[in-house]
Chain A
Amino acid sequence: MTDIAAPPARTPSSPGPRAGGPLRNRLLGRNPIGSLFALPYMVFVAVIFAFPLGFACYIAFHDYFFTAPGVEVERPFVGLDNFADVLTDPQVLESFRNTAVFLVINVPLTAVGALVLASALNAGIRWAAAFRVAFYVPYLTASVSLVGVWMLLFSSGGLVNSVLGPLAPDPSWLVNSALAMPSIALYVTWKQLGFYILLYLAALQNIPSELHESAATDGATTLQRFRHVTIPGVRSATTLVLILAIITGANLFTEPYLLTNGGGPDGASTTPVLLIYQQGIQQQNPDTASAIGMLLVIAVGLLSLTANRLTRET
C-alpha cells in the first residue's frame, strides 16, 4: 500500500536535465522508442485503411459511381452537393434521429449494467465461472440465430406479450414505430453486455484489494465503497466502454437489417449505416452514401470526444 501511495520520485518521465536535453525531447518525444513500438500498427492502418478512407472522402465530393477497370466516365467535382442532398433527405435525418434514440437508451444501460454485473462477479463468489459463461454467450453467438429468438420473444403472439397480457403494446414491439428502436437498443445492450463486462472485469482486477479493505475498515457500506473505490478505480475502462458503445451504436447495421428487416416499420428503425448500405451498395450511389458516412464519422467523433472529456473531469 505504502508503495502505491508514495509520492512519485524523480523519474525519467518527469521533466529534468537528461542526456538528450529538452530540444530532443520536443522533437522526438521523451521515449522515441515508442514510435518504433507503434510503427507496425501505423503501417497496418496506412496500408489497409488509408486508401479506402481517402477514397470515400474523395467520392463524397464528386458525382461518383463505381466502374469496371478501364471504363472512362466523367466524375465531376460537385463540392458540397452530395452533402446538401443528404441533409435535405428526410430519411437521412430520421436515421440520425433514430440513432440518437438508440444511444440514449443503449449507452447508459450498457455502462451501468456492465459495471454492476462485473463488480458482482468480481467479489469472489461461487460459480463465477458459470455466470461469466452465461453473460458472454450472447456476445459470441452469431446474430443470425439470436435475431430469430428475439423475433419470437417480441412478436405479437410471443412470450413477452403473453406475459404482459392486456398491457402488451399494439401494434407489437418490432412493428410499432415508437417501440422498434428501443427494442433494438435493448437487444444490442443484451447482446454486447458480455463484452463490456469483460472489460470491466479486467479493470476491476487492477484495483488493489487493499483499497476495498481499508474502506471497509473505515466503516464504508457496500454502496459507498462502490461509489468511492470502484467507480474511480475503473475510470479509464469507463471511458473505453462509453467510446466503444457510442461507436458500435452509431455503426448499427445488422440489427435493423435483420431484426426489423430493412429499417421497418415504415422507416422507424432506419440507421445511417443501413442507408449507406442501401444507397452505396444496393443502389450504386456511393457518392451520397459517402456523404452520409462522413457526417456520421464527424458526429461520432464529437460524441466520443465529449465522452472522453466527461469521464476525465468527474
Chain B
Amino acid sequence: MKFTKTAALVGAATLMLAACSGGSDPADGGNAAPAGTGPIEIWLSNNEAEIAWGEGVVEAWNAENPDQQVTAQEIPAGSSSEEAITAAITAGTAPCLVYNIATAAVSGWVQQGGLVDLTTFDDGASYIEERGGDSTAAYQNDGGYYQLPWKSNPVMVMYNKDLFEQAGLDPENPGMSTYSDFLDGARQLVDSGVQSAIWPSPTNEFYQPWFDFYPLYLAETGGTQLVEDGAATFDNEAGAAVAEFWSTIYSEELAPQEAATDDAMVSGNTAMQLAGPWAITSYGEDVNVGFMPVPTSGGSEEVVTFADSKNISMFTACENQATAWEFLKFSTSAEADGQLLEATGQMPMRVDLAGTYPDYFEANPMYAAFASQTERVADVPSIPNSVEAWQVFREAYSSAVIFGNTSTEEFLSGSAEEITGLVG
C-alpha cells in the first residue's frame, strides 16, 4: 500500500514534469518587424453602440480591401476581458487589435511581450501625436506607444436636478465647487430625506479609486498622477485634503459604506454620482440630470479630472501587422471618430474635439461640457505593477477613509511607501 502510494506520487510528478518541459518549447515570432498584409481579427467591447459602430467601420474597410478582410468579435467589458487577453497573449492566440484597453493593464502585457510598440511603424509616433496632441505622452511605456489613446469618458459630478431643487439647492448652479460648499450641499441633501448625497462604490476592486479619490486628487493637484518619476505623489497636503474630504463624507454618513443593490441614481437613492458621459444614456428619462466639475479644496473654474480612457493595442501574435496598422489608422480617422462620437457619446481623444465636430455639439449641448472637459484630463500612470499598486492603494484607502479603522496619515504614508517600492 505504502509502496503504491509513493509510486503514484512519483508517477504523477514525472507526468507533470514531462508535460511541463514539453509545453515550454520556444516558438518563433515575438520581435518580428511589423510587416505582412492579409486578413486580420479584431476584438470590440460588447457595448451595443460600439459594436454597431465597429461593424460599420469594418464593413467600409472590407469593401475597399477585399484581400485584407477584417473580422470583428466581441468580448465583454470589465475584468473578464482582461483575463481573456492575458490568457490569449500567453497562448499566442491574441487577435491583431483590441478596442477596449485600460491603461492600467498595459504595463503587465508589455512585460509579457504581448503588445506591439506602435512607434516601430514609420509613421507610428507622428500619427498618434498628431491625432491626440501633447497629452499622448502620458500613455507611453518605456518610451514607446503600446496603446493608441482612443476615447475618454471624463469623470464629472452627475446630479439629480429634482432632488437638488427639493433640498433647496439651485439645480442650475448649485455652487458646490469647494469642499466646504460641497459638504454643506451634501448635508442639506441628506437632511432633505435623500438616502445619500453621493454614492461611490465603497468596494475593494483595484479600479474603484478612479471614481472617488483619483478624480478629486487630479483636480486638487492640477493633474499630478498617482505616481510620477517612479515615486508615489500623494503623501502630501493635496492627498491629505482629498482623503479628509472623503473621510468626512463617510463619517457623516453622507455616503453609504455598502454597495448599491441597483442603480442608485435611477432609483433616486443618491443625489450625485461621479461618472462619465456614458452614464447619460443609462439614466435615460428617469433622471433629470445635470453635471458639474469635481470639487477642489479652494474651488476652481477649470479643473483636471480622470480621463477613464479606453484605448487600442496591437498584439505581437498578429501576423499581418501592416494591415492591422492601416486598419487602426482607418478606424481612428476624423471620419471614424465622428461616427464613434455620434453612435456612443464617448469622446474621441483628438485635439480640438469641439472644433472638429461643431455640428454634433450644437445638436447635443449636454455633451459639450464633456468635450471641453476632455482638454483637461489625466489618466492612470503607465507604471510597472500598475494593478498591484492600485490594489494596495484601494485597500489602505478603504480601511482608513471608508471604514475609519486606521488614520488617513497612516493610509497616505503607508501606501505611498509601498507603492513607491512596487513601481521603482
Contact = CB atoms under 8 A, between A and B. Distances in A.
A299 interface: no
A220 interface: no
Contact of B203 (A152, A172, A264, A284): A264
A54 B24 CA distance: 12
Given A54-B20, A148-B261, A283-B387, A70 B27 contact: yes
Given A151-B261, A174-B258, A285-B388, A66 B395 contact: no
Nearest to B261: A151
Interface in A46-79: 46, 50-51, 53-55, 57-58, 65-73
Interface in B246-275: 256-259, 261
B23 interface: yes
Interface in B68-116: 79, 82-83, 86, 89-92, 94, 108, 111-114
B201 A261 contact: yes
B30 interface: yes
B16 A66 contact: no
B184 interface: no
A282 B79 contact: yes
Interface in A94-125: none
Interface string A132-157: 00000000000000001001100110
B19 interface: yes
B92 A263 contact: no
A57 B14 CA distance: 13
B391 interface: yes
A175 interface: yes
A214 B423 CA distance: 74
B283 interface: no
A262 interface: yes
Interface size on B, as a range, is 35 or more
B136 interface: no
A233 interface: no
Given A54-B16, A281-B83, A69 B387 contact: no
B294 to A, nearest CB: 23
B257 A265 contact: yes
A261 B205 contact: yes
A69 B257 contact: no
Contact of B204 (A174, A177, A261, A281): A261
Interface centre among B94, B112, B206, B402 (most CB of A within 10 A): B112
A68 B111 CA distance: 9
B92 A68 contact: yes
A68 B201 contact: no
Contacts of B23: 51, 55
B15 interface: yes
A102 B299 CA distance: 48
B79 A71 contact: no
Nearest to B15: A50
A243 B385 CA distance: 38
B16 A68 contact: no
Interface string B25-58: 0111110000000000000000000000000000
Interface of B: 12-13, 15-17, 19-20, 22-23, 26-30, 79, 82-83, 86, 89-92, 94, 108, 111-114, 201-206, 256-259, 261, 316-317, 385, 387-388, 391, 395, 398-399, 402-403, 405
28 contacts: A50-B15, A50-B16, A51-B23, A54-B16, A55-B16, A55-B19, A55-B20, A57-B16, A67-B90, A67-B113, A67-B114, A68-B92, A69-B29, A69-B92, A148-B261, A151-B261, A155-B258, A156-B258, A172-B258, A175-B258, A261-B203, A262-B203, A266-B402, A266-B405, A278-B391, A283-B108, A283-B385, A283-B388
